[in-house]
Each structure stands twice: as C-alpha cells, then as structure tokens.
Structure 1
Amino acid sequence: MNAVITLDLTRSLWLWAAALALALLMVIPLAGWISAVAALVVVIAVIVAWIRAGYRFARQGQQLVLADPATLPAATYRQPVVLVCGDGLADLFGKVPAEQLALRTTSLGCYVRVPALDQLSTISNGLQALRPHWRGQLSVMLVTNPGEHTDAAELAGRVRAFCHQIAVVRERGIGLPLMLVSYVQAAKDKARSEHAWFSWEDAQPHPLVREAGACTRLTDWQRQTADSATCAARLCRSVQVSSAATWLKATLLPHFEAREANYPRVCAINLVPVLPQALAGNLWQQWLCERAGLSTAGQPVGEGSAGLPFPDPLLNLLPLNTSRSPILRASVTAWWLFVVTGVVALASSAWQNNLLLRQVTDDLRRYASIPMAERRDQPPFALREDALTVLRQDAMRLDNYYRQGEPLALGLGLYRGERLRLPLLATIASHRQPPEPPTLAKTPDPVRLDSLSLFSTGSAELKAGSTKVLINALVNIKAQPGWLIVIAGHTDVTGSPEHNLELSRARAASVRDWMQRMGGYR
C-alpha cells in the first residue's frame, strides 16, 4: 500500500509541477505560438513522467520476490534493516534461491540478503518501494571471511566493486551506514562455549567485547573469569582476534580508506567453531603460516552444518535516521517547487515593470527635449506632435491598467506604472500648439460689361437687347446673401469729365435698378 501511496504522490508532484509551469507561462510574456508550444511540451512531459513512474514502481515491486511474504516486517517497524553482502550468506540465511529475497528478523533488527554485489542498488530501491518509511533505517553489512578466499587480488576486486555499489546507492540520498564483519574459525575449537563479538568502532585502536548485552574492554574481558581454563582460552582468543584484526587492517581497510565516505562505522570479528564454507589453503591459513609460522592442518575445512550468528549486539551502533513520511517529503518538494516558481514569476514581473518604467520615462524625456515651435511650419512642431502621439498611447495603456487592472506579467504586487500615469496625463494636458496663421478672405473677380452692348451713345437707358448680357452677368456674379455688389464704371464719350461722371453714375444706377428688379437684390 505504501508503494501505491508513493506512486500517487510522485504523480501528484508531476501534476503540481505541470500546473506551476503552465501558470509561469501565463505570467511570462511570450509570443502566442511560443507559449502554445511550451504548454504542449509541458503536457507531453507530464504524460511521459506519469507513465514512466508507474512502470518504475511496478518494476521495483516485481524485482523483490520474497521467500515468505509474511516475514517482511510491517511498515511501522523501526529497528535497523541491514542489507547483508559478501560471504557466508547460505550459512546466515539458509538455502534460499538467489532470485528470492531472503531475510531474518530478530528482536534487534532485520537482515536482508543481497545475493550478489551488483544487486545492492536493486534490493535497496525495491525495499524503499515496499517500505518507504525504512529509508533512514537501512544500513549495509559486508561479510568478508578470510577462510573462504584463496586469492587476495580477487578479494580486493570484490571489495572495490562493493565500494562502487554503495556509492551508487548513496547518490540517491540514502546514508546506508557500513558495518564490516568477519567470521574467523577459532583454533582448536575454543569458541564453542562463548559467543562474543569483538568490535572496533569509529576506527578506535582497541577492540570492545560485546557479549550477552554487556560491553567491556578486551583486557577487562580476559580477567572477568575465575576459571583458569576459561582465562587461558580467552587469552588464546584475544591473540587470534588481534591477528585477524591485523589481517583486516592490512588487506581490506586500505580499499575503504581510499574512499573516506565508505569507511566502516563498525568493524567486527566473531570466532566460530567451524566455518562451513572454508577452503583449503585459504587466506587465513596463508596469513598464519607466513606471519606466525603456525600450522592449521588440524582445523576442519568445509565441515559442519552449523549456521553463523547474526551480529545483533552490534546493531545499536548503527545510526537510525527517522525518515520523514512520504506525504511530508512530497509536501516539502511541492513547497520548494512553488517557491522556485514564485521566484521566477517575481523576477519576470520585476523585469517587465522595469521595462515599462524605462519606456514611459524615455518617452517623457524625448517629448521634453523637443523645443516648442512658434509656427507650425517649423521642424520641431512635427517632432513634438509625434512625441505627443506616443505619450497618448502610453497614457491609454496605463489608463486601461488603472481601470481594468494590470496584467499578470506586471502584477504580483510589483506594478509600478501607476506613479507615472498622473504625470503623464499632466504632460499631455499642458501641451500647447502654436496659433494657426490668419486666413485672408478671397476677393471675388470683377465681372466686366461692355457699355456699348448695354447703352446707346450718350444715353443711360438700357437697350432693348441688353437683357441677355445682364442675365449672364448676374449668373457669373453668384451672389450670396449678405454680399455687397459694387457697380462701377466710367465713360468719356463727351470729353467733359463732369458730364462723363454724371453719365457713368446714371448708367450704374440703371444696372442697379435692373438687378434689384430682376434678381431681388437690395
């Protein structure tokens, strides 16, 4: 059920991320086609992530086939969960097929078998899929028994491969504390009556002895018996443990020291009566022969069916990090996605507001830098009118924002255009144009009449055939109401100025009288 919840939370986070991305596209002013393409990419990415998440969780759940499904502790289990790698797995977990997940649960912890080193990452991910709350309880135990190896180079390669695998797991954010354990066959069956663990914690030089819930120093443990035979046996075991510790330090620990993050938190040795998987001529026998000249011919090799003990007394040395619930982790992730989206949106809004202020301010400065023209035909007049047109466009834009609200690209509490709206309107209202030049009234063209076609010589009376000429003249005048028609003319038919003036006035009066009579003029 926890895997389903985790899958649902993962998909919910993808949907939340898509919603935030779409909201961000609404805030950031992009071209229409760019926004459409980006939205389509977001939708496709969510669909792909949705499908891949379901496939990944289903695959992780299928990779773990339990030998007995009922043996997996409940999700509320809060003891250490130790992934056991290396040697002696059959003696610890029994004969369980490699494709099945074998585990042993004790009162102090749960041990999970890792059949091969390259399966450490797979089993770790599968356990997290089935039990997400166990993330902070996971640790790893590497079992290295010198009695089960004959090639030191091959053993060194296994240790380096293990270090690589544990680094891969830790890259996913799992601490995975390391415990190094070695089972050594005791000399002459000295370990049948005692089950002590000898441990070195945090690279301390002297071992501690953990047995039956007690923890003592090695020297104190040797003296905690009144039986001389037991005291001698413990002294013999102390020498053997010291020799085994020297072998571990010389053979295995250098590979861990090269990677400080992988250095074991606990190194432990347990002396067992019989090592079931021991080989003839193994590394432990080679070490004793080369360093101490001791013969191990009397030790049984590969005999016995007794299992190996689990290091329960050492489990309290492994750190337990109470893992946050999947819902809490998903909530934190969702909150950080929201924070990142908010920061991007605020940054975009601040940038767009700066662009708006810069644009309007530059338009105002451009208008103010153009001198006022005294006449409309001067070049500054056209430049000032163009600048005023731009200011009016800016004012219309800011006024729309004032009446209808600013767009999301300028909003989010960062809108700064309102402080420019009133100064902009005041600048537009103070604009003055130079006066237009006065227009001169058009003087109508005079209509000339031939006096000989109207009057007889020396006469002021109109001829009988003069009506047509006067009608044409009246049409050409095209008088408007309120106009003043001036009739002027002169004649010099007699040669006397006084007589000619009197005759001219009489002829003009005749034409006037005719127009008043025929055209209705006054």
Structure 2
Amino acid sequence: MALSLLVILICGVTLWRQWGTSRTRHDAVREITDDSLPPEDFQGAFILTCGDSAALFTAGTQHRETRQGWYLQVKDAEQLPLLAQHLSIVRPALVSQISVLLTILPERHYSTDDFTQELRGWQRAVAQCRPWFNGLPPIWTVTWVSPPGACAGENPVWFTVVNNRAGIQVHQPGQGNLPLADWINESGASGRFTRLSQALWLDSLLSWQGNAVDSLLTERQGELAALRPCAQGFCMVPLSGWADSLWQQHISGITALSPDRVDPPDALPLPELLLSGLPHCRGISRRMAFWRYAGLLAAIFLVLAMLASFIHNQRLIRSVADHLTLYHRLSGEPPLPKVQAQQHLRADGRLLDDWQRRGEPLRYRMGLYQGLRLLGPVEAAVSDWAPPAPPTPVIQQIVQGPSTVHLDSLSLFDSGQSELKPGSTRVLVNSLVGIRARPGWLIVVSGHTDNTGRAQLNQTLSQQRAGSVRNWMRDTGDVPESCFAVQGYGAGRPVATNNTPEGRALNRRVEISLVPQADACQLPDTKAASPDVSDALTQ
C-alpha cells in the first residue's frame, strides 16, 4: 500500500512539473503566433533578434520579413530557451537555419553594470538553447550608433567584420564592399573629411565594443559558454540617444564632445548585408523526416529480408551438398545405405524441379535463389548408379550344370544342426522335381558352409547335412544307395564373399546335381545304362 502511494505521489509530482513547464513555455510564447513564424519551406535565414531589439521593429509587430531573412523579436533572455524549445517542435525544419542576433544600442544604456548583467543574461540564455538547437547556434552582433555631425535623413553607413574575410569592410550601395583603407582613400570621393571622421568614430566604437561586449562574450565563466560571433556589424545612422548614455560617456572621455541628438527613424535598418556571412544549412521538415524514417525502415526491412533469404539459401545448399557428399562417399556395398542416400537425392531433385516450374518460395527469393545450379548435380548423381538386383529366393537354381539344385541350409536345418527341420519336406519336394534317378547318372549331394567357426567342424557339419538330404531322397523315392555320392566341402567352395551377411547366406547351401558315370545307379534287374537311357525312376 505504501509503495503504491509512493508511486502515485512520484507520478503526480512529475506530471505537475511537466504541466508547470508546459504552462510556463506557453505563457512565454503565446504572443508568437504562426503568422509571426516563417513557413517550413522557408529558404532564407531565420534570425532570433535579441538585446536592444525593440528599435528594429515597429509598434505592434513581432517580426520583419525580407528577401533574405526572417527576423523574429525576442523580448527578454528568459523567453529565448522557451522559444527555442517551441520552434524545435513546430518548425523542426528551420532549426538549422536559426541564428541569434545580439543587437546593441550603446546610446540606450546608462549603467555599465546593468549592461554587463544584461549581456550575461543573454549569454546564459543562448547556452540554454543548446539541447534544442543541437549545439550553440551561430551568434552575430550588430551595433548602431549616431555618426559625427548626424543629420536626420542621412543614409546609413555599414562597417562589417566577417570571419571569412580579412579586415573591416565598408558597404557601398550599388558597389559592394570595399576595405576600410580603400574606402577612406578612394580618389575623387566627396566628403573626404566626413569619411575620415567616420573612420575615427568607428575606431572609438571598436574600442568600446571590445571592452564592453567582446571581452564578456568570449570569456567563459562557470556554466556560461564562450560565444564567439561569426560576424559583426557596425551601423552609423542618425539615432536619438539618451542623455549620459554609455556611448556619450565613452565619447566624452575621449574628445570632450557629445553626439548630436536627432529624431529617430521608425525602425533601424536591418543588417541584410551580413546574412551572406552566416553559415547556410538546410533543415529537415517533418515531411522529410517522415520519409527519411520510412526509407530507413524500408532499408532495414530489405536488409533483413535479404539476410533471411541468404540464410535459407545457405541452408538449402548445405542440405543438398551433405546429401551429395554422403551419396558419393558410399561404395554401394552393402547397397541399402546408398539406396537410402539416393532416395534423399531424388526427393531433393523433385523439390528443386517443382520450384523451377512453379517458382521458389518467398523465403528463397530477393535474387539470391541458388536452387537452379543445384538441380544439375543432383540429377547427374541420381542417374550414375543403380542398385543391384534383389537377392535370389531362398531356394534357387544355380547355373552349375543342366540339373543342379541349390538348397539354402537355413531353410532345411537349424543353425549348427544336421537333422532336417519339421516342415522341410515341402521345400525338398518342390525343389527336387527335376532330379531323376537314371542308370549311368550319379546323384551327387554336396554340403557347404560359410567361414564362421572352425574349419574342421564346418567340414563335418556340411558332410552330415549332405547325408541327411541323401537319406531323405533315398527313403522317399526308394532309390538304391549306389545312385548317390555324398560330399562335404565346408567353407572351401564359396559362391559369394563371406564379408557380408548376404554373401554368407549364399554360401550356406546344399547342392544336388546329376553327374554322368557309366557304372553308377544300377537298378535291380537292369544292366549298366548309358547316359541316353530313359529314366528308370522318378523321384
């Protein structure tokens, strides 16, 4: 319960502080309407005009728009960071085009200490804008003073100092900029004395500016960042000054003279000629940011899709390659493993062929499908080997002569035994139909075993098994014993290799064949028969 209350309290304090901050920001920028802000596609410079900015704007206006820039008035230092936060939300595309203009009117200040504190306030406010402007924005200063012998209606004279230009430049309407020395010594120039006096006036202004402004802005104190102006402008224009102002104090300390007081213009001239010296950057609008993020997400999706396709294709290649490697490694003896490997390759071939005709699945696409180059090796491997013919039946006739019968020992005898198994009679009857006792022919019964066990025991076992088959044939067909010859060869005459189970099964056998012999198989009351005598007995 206490933990829940603590969480609720923390959330409430956080929301209250956020609401207070939002309300403060709203109060500070509520006078800044959308009409006072440039559109998001504005291409010129966006200048936040600070300092003595009231003299640049007519009564009731918050901004001035020109062909090259948009000047927005910032009334006090506390408003600047809140306005920066507001602009980063409503005009994010213009953040990179924003610069801070510090306007200075030394004829509108009385106290040096108050002027210094005001500069420190603006310096602190600019530093607080860093999170919203991705760093310190470009800073530039412009100072307006009355020229010597000022008269109402005179054209302003501009002196500029820009970082990428050498020395002080003087702006000539219609002629561009001239170095200060060339402007003073220009041949044929009227009012030579006036230009010289203005140059001396400028030198006094530079001295005051360096001591009262530049030394403060470029000096870092604690959390206050040093501000180095990227451009400076000095305008000499008729301007009504206050009695005993900072500028009058400075001039009186040098010349014992005071500037003349004249009627002020409605608004001071804007420093348009300095805009070319500001850094030029194009911001990112919300629409551009949206499409940038959309493009980034699409690129990430495309990369992930290609990566997934690459992984699936590599798995397919490895699977088929493993099947091919195993298939080629098998020799075919015994044939069953290679038959199974061949079945795997046939399945791979059917799958690849189906994908070739119907199109591969999406997970293999993105231009990375490798199945076409795998189909050829799979088809070639499947067709280069065929399994051997299936093994012959248990009882089969081996071609050793015209009437030779091969009987499988395990179908007649138990393992290691020489007595006929029950039920072996049918096997003998079905297999010995072609063996007939006839005079002049000897029925040879021979037994064979595989090489398992001792050779002497195998020879004896083969002899006994052959004798058991001879006895059955003699007793069943009433054939004289002289018609038979019994032989036991053991493992001496194999018909297949003894290294495999199939070969050993073929070697365990009893063979019955007819061998011509003139005095063999003498039946009762008959003479010795030649091989062409007709059958005397049918078994």
What is the TM-score when the length of structure 2 is the normalising length? 0.53
What does the per-residue CA deviation read over 1:248-278, in whole Å, with 9 as the maximum and x for residues that have no partner? 543324669xx99985442112346658799
Structure 1 contact 184–244 (Cα < 8 Å) conserved = no
Asked if 1:119 is matched to 2:74, the reply is no
Correspondence 1:385-464 to 2 at 5 A:
385-429=339-383, 430-433=385-388, 435-436=390-391, 438-440=393-395, 444=423
Shift in CA distance, 370/191, structure 1 to aligned 2, threshold 3 Å: farther
Corresponding residue number in structure 2 for 1:195 = 156
Report how far residue 103 of structure 1 moved. Answer: 0.6
Shift in Å, 1:89: 2.5
Q: Does 1:143 align with 2:103?
A: yes
Once the two structures are TM-superposed, the CA of residue 439 in structure 1 deviates from its matched residue by 0.4
Deviation at 1:307, TM superposition (A): 4.9
One-letter identity of the residue aligned with 1:408: L
Q: Which runs of 5+ in 2 are unaligned?
A: 1-24, 396-406, 413-422, 427-474, 480-523, 526-539
Return the alpha-carbon distance in structure 2 between the equivalents of residues 249 and 326 of structure 1: 37
Equivalent pair of 2:330/2:337 in contact (CA under 8 Å): yes
Query: Shift of residue 384 of structure 1?
Result: 3.7
Distance 2:391 2:104 in 1: 106
What does residue range 161-172 of structure 1 map to in structure 2 within 5 Å? 161-163=125-127, 165=129, 168-170=132-134
For residues 153-232 of structure 1, what are the structure 2 equivalents within 5 Å?
Answer: 155-156=119-120, 158-159=122-123, 161-163=125-127, 165=129, 168-170=132-134, 178=138, 180-183=140-143, 185-186=145-146, 190=150, 193=154, 195-210=156-171, 212-214=173-175, 215-222=177-184, 226-227=190-191, 230-231=194-195
Shift in Å, 1:299: 7.7
- Higher share in strand: 2
Aligned residues of 1:207 and 1:217 also touching (Cα < 8 A): yes
| Contact 2:105/2:145, CA 8 A, preserved across alignment | no
Q: Judging changes above 3 Å, is the alpha-carbon distance between structure 1 residues 372 and 153 closer, same or farther for their aligned structure 2 residues?
A: farther
Secondary structure of 2:234's partner?
Answer: strand
Q: CA deviation at 1:425?
A: 3.4
Q: Which runs of 5+ in 1 are unaligned?
A: 1-59, 375-380, 448-485, 491-500, 503-522
Is residue 364 from structure 1 mapped to residue 324 from structure 2 by the alignment? yes
Cα distance in 1 for residues equivalent to 2:331 and 2:363: 36
Q: Corresponding residue for 2:55?
A: 91
Stretch deviating more after TM superposition (353-362 or 260-269): 260-269
Kept in 1, the 8 Å contact 2:48–2:99? The answer is yes
CA distance in 2, matches of 1:205, 1:446: 126
CA distance in 2, matches of 1:61, 1:360: 68
Residues 83 and 141, structure 1, Cα contact 8 Å, conserved in 2 = yes
Q: How does 1:235-246 map to 2 (within 5 A)?
A: 235-246=199-210
Q: CA deviation at 1:334?
A: 5.0
Deviation at 1:411, TM superposition (A): 1.4
Q: Quick one: distance in 2 between partners of 1:80 and 1:61?
A: 25
Deviation of 1:199 (Å): 0.8
Residues 323 and 344 in structure 2, CA contact (< 8 A), matched pair in contact too? yes
Residues 213, 313 of structure 1: 8 Å contact kept:
no
Paired amino acid for 1:110: W
Q: Distance in 1 between matches of 2:367 and 2:294?
A: 23
Q: Flag the structure with larger Rg.
A: 2
Aligned-pair distance for 1:74? 7.0
Q: Please, what is the CA RMSD of the aligned residues?
A: 5.2
How many Å separate the matches in 2 of 1:408 and 1:126? 42
How many residue pairs are counted as aligned between the two chains? 370
Q: Distance in 2 between matches of 1:138 and 1:78?
A: 11
Asked if the contact 2:157–2:171 (Cα under 8 Å) also holds between the matched residues in 1, the reply is: yes
Deviates more, 1:185-194 or 1:352-361: 185-194
Which letter maps to 1:350?
Answer: F
Write the distance in 1 (CA, Å) between the matches of 2:324 and 2:226: 64
Structure-2 change in CA distance of 1:417 and 1:446 (3 Å): closer
Question: Who is 1:128 aligned against?
Answer: 91
Query: Which amino acid in structure 1 is aligned with residue 394 of structure 2?
Result: T
CA contact (8 A) 1:195 1:211 kept: no
The change in CA–CA distance for 1:244 and 1:425 in structure 2 (over 3 A counts) is same
CA-to-partner distance for each residue in 1:373-398, whole Å, 9 max, x for gaps? 25xxxxxx554455345434433432
Distance 1:74 1:234 in 2: 40
Tell me, in whole angstroms, the C-alpha distance in 1 between the residues paired with 2:275 and 2:141: 12
CA distance in 1, matches of 2:341, 2:425: 48
Report the CA distance between 1:336 and its aligned residue.
5.7
Structure 2 CA distance, aligned partners of 1:404 and 1:196?
81
Change (3 A) 1:80 1:153: closer
Q: Which residue of 2 aligns with 1:377?
A: none
Give the drift of 1:406. Answer: 1.0
Pair 410,295 (structure 1): closer, same or farther in 2 beyond 3 Å = same
CA offsets, 1:428-474, max 9 Å, x none? 34241474254037675669xxxxxxxxxxxxxxxxxxxxxxxxxxx
Change in Cα spacing, 1:434 to 1:261, as seen in structure 2 (3 Å) is farther
Give how far 1:365 is off: 0.9
Conservation of the 8 A alpha-carbon contact between 2:56 and 2:267: yes
Give the letter aligned to residue 242 of structure 1: L
Which structure's residues are more often helix, by fraction?
A: 1
For residue 113 of structure 2, give the secondary structure of its aligned residue in structure 1: coil
Superposed CA offset, 1:289-312 (max 9, x none): 9xx9659996899x9897543223
